[in-house]
Amino acid sequence: MNIAQILTTVAWACSFIMTAYMAYFLIIAVFSVKKPREYPEAEPRTRFAVLVAARNEEAVIGNLVESLMNQDYPKELYDVIVIPNNCTDNTAEAARAHGAVILDCTVPVRSKGEVMTFAVQTLLDGEKPYDSIVVFDADNLVHPLYLREMNNAVAAGVRVAQAYRDSKNPHDTLMSGAYSIYYWMVNQFYSQARSGLNLSAVVNGSGFMVELDLLRQWGGWHTQTMTEDIEFTAQCALHGQKVAWVPKAITFDEQPLTFAESWKQRKRWSTGSLQCMERYSGRLARSAVKGNPRSLDSLLFFLGPVIQVLWLVSLLLGLGFQLMGVDYGFFPATGVFYQLFFSVTTSFLGTFAAAFLSVLLTGNKVRPMLGAMCYYWVFVTTWIPINLLCMVRKTTAWEQMSHTRAIRPAQLFGQ
């Protein structure tokens, strides 16, 4: 086999894997139009421990705690517990002033996952009888009906659930708009699509709920990667536990404003995804072979960075063949084919169409998001060099994201 045959075989293999991968997610995305499960109204009974890991979040923590203290849920059934860690500002004082309980972190921690391990073990060892934990980031604002909706899900038998993640600043910059579109896509085309197929929503950073008895059975919270949320999703799949989708429980995130902040955050996400792939792909594959579709779904999610790189390899080889006039046989050498698979214009239009559909289907206004929809192509394509960089040199330290968008609950909810 000569070099040309080897390269065409590599290009064909990359293209085939990429096409099959995209087809899987596109087919599942079709089910996003199905109405999600409704959880009937239930009497408030669930005792929630509301956990917030916070590092130098004095600017925003008060607004989060205020939104949590104003929940339409009996105050005696939940505590807002803030876990300051590695702070050099007045995060603890600001949280306490708004009504939070402060849990001092007495062990060295470097990531949110390590804070979660400490906090969950403290609850399991404690005397107060909580039923479930719900987890938020310090920059969040939480809809007044969040706890009531999670209680409804718990009453219906749900043990792990993910809430709807919205954005509190979609119109600040093109980058915050692109992030907002990204989360709307995850809500609509990933979590909602899977809710009707008995697959799992993805545990996605904040707004998720876990039953404490379940964590007790599993020996506590044990995540070790840079992305504790998707790692926990994989653990749920391996345990045969579905992550339910509760879209009426809503939390609002502060999105990064600049490309530099986004680059730093997405490097951590890509590193975490690659770490999860390394740690869990073998177990997920074996579980999938035994007939666990959630394990297969989780495995394919972790393969995302690799698929992006395969797409790039396929693209570069195809363009090289075109420039050298090499007949690589398995694809038609036509202008139509080139426009479909190798055209930047087509790539941009496809990305714009997906962003437009996400904005439309999630009920957001189209006109204010037009700039972000155009910018979304940059957001997506710049993930490729991030993935390549992380494959060579992973991010090993959790870097703090600056949160300064101090929006009060009244500005969103009219409280």
Domain regions of the chain by residue span: 34-280
% of the chain at pLDDT higher than 70: 87
Query: pLDDT value at position 159?
Result: 98
How many Cα atoms within 13 Å fall on the side-chain side of residue 394?
16
Residue 330 or 243, more confident: 243
Query: pLDDT value at position 400?
Result: 67
Range 188-206 average pLDDT: 93
Q: Is the pLDDT of residue 404 over 70?
A: no
Query: pLDDT value at position 296?
Result: 96
Range 299-326 average pLDDT: 76
Tell me, yes or no, if the pTM score tops 0.75.
Answer: yes
Which H, E and C letters describe the chain, residue by residue?
CCHHHHHHHHHHHHHHHHHHHHHHHHHHHHHHHCCCCCCCCCCCCCCEEEEEEECCCCCCHHHHHHHHHCCCCCHHHEEEEEEECCCCCCHHHHHHHCCCEECCCCCCCCCHHHHHHHHHHHHHHCCCCCCEEEEEECCCEECCCHHHHHHHHHHCCCCEEEEEEEECCCCCCHHHHHHHHHHHHHHHHHHHHHHCCCCCCCCCCCCEEEEHHHHHHCCCCCCCCCCHHHHHHHHHHHCCCCCEEEEEEEEEECCCCCHHHHHHHHHHHHHHHHHHHHHHHHHHHHHHHCCCHHHHHHHHHHCHHHHHHHHHHHHHHHHHHHHHCCCCCCCCCCHHHHHHHCCHHHHHHHHHHHHHHHHHHCCCCCHHHHHHHHHHHHHHHCHHHHHHHHHHCCCCCCCCCCCCCCCCHHHHHCC
Residue 365 or 343, more confident: 365
Query: pLDDT value at position 350?
Result: 86
Q: Is the pLDDT of residue 399 over 70?
A: no
Residues 84-133: tens digit of each pLDDT: 998 888 999 999 999 999 999 989 888 899 999 999 999 999 989 999 99
Query: pLDDT value at position 375?
Result: 97
Which residues does 58 contact at the CB level (< 8 Å), separation at least 6? 89, 90, 91, 93, 94
Query: pLDDT value at position 205?
Result: 85
Range 24-35 average pLDDT: 92
Q: Of 144-153, 196-205, 350-359, which one has max mean pLDDT? A: 144-153
| Cα angle value 352/356/245 (rounded, 5°) | 120
Token pair for 180? 């907002």
Query: pLDDT value at position 122?
Result: 96
Token pair for 62? 């008060």
Range 62-66 average pLDDT: 95
Q: Is the pLDDT of residue 15 over 50?
A: yes
Query: pLDDT value at position 336?
Result: 45
Q: Is the pLDDT of residue 413 over 80?
A: no
Q: Is the pLDDT of residue 49 over 60?
A: yes
Range 285-304 average pLDDT: 95
> What confidence tier does 392 reach under pLDDT thresholds 50, 70, 90?
confident
Are residues 184 and 358 in contact, defined by beta-carbon separation less than 8 angstroms? yes
Are residues 179 and 106 in contact, defined by beta-carbon separation less than 8 angstroms? no
Q: Is the pLDDT of residue 271 over 80?
A: yes
Query: pLDDT value at position 151?
Result: 98
Residue 51 or 308, more confident: 51
Mean pLDDT taken over the chain:
89
Query: pLDDT value at position 339?
Result: 46
Residues 175-195: tens digit of each pLDDT: 999 999 999 999 999 999 999
> What confidence tier does 414 reach under pLDDT thresholds 50, 70, 90?
low
Residues 331-363: tens digit of each pLDDT: 545 444 444 455 567 778 889 999 999 999 999
| 34-280: CATH, from 3.40.50.300, 3.90.550.10, 3.40.50.1100, 3.20.20.70 | 3.90.550.10
> What confidence tier does 167 reach under pLDDT thresholds 50, 70, 90?
very high
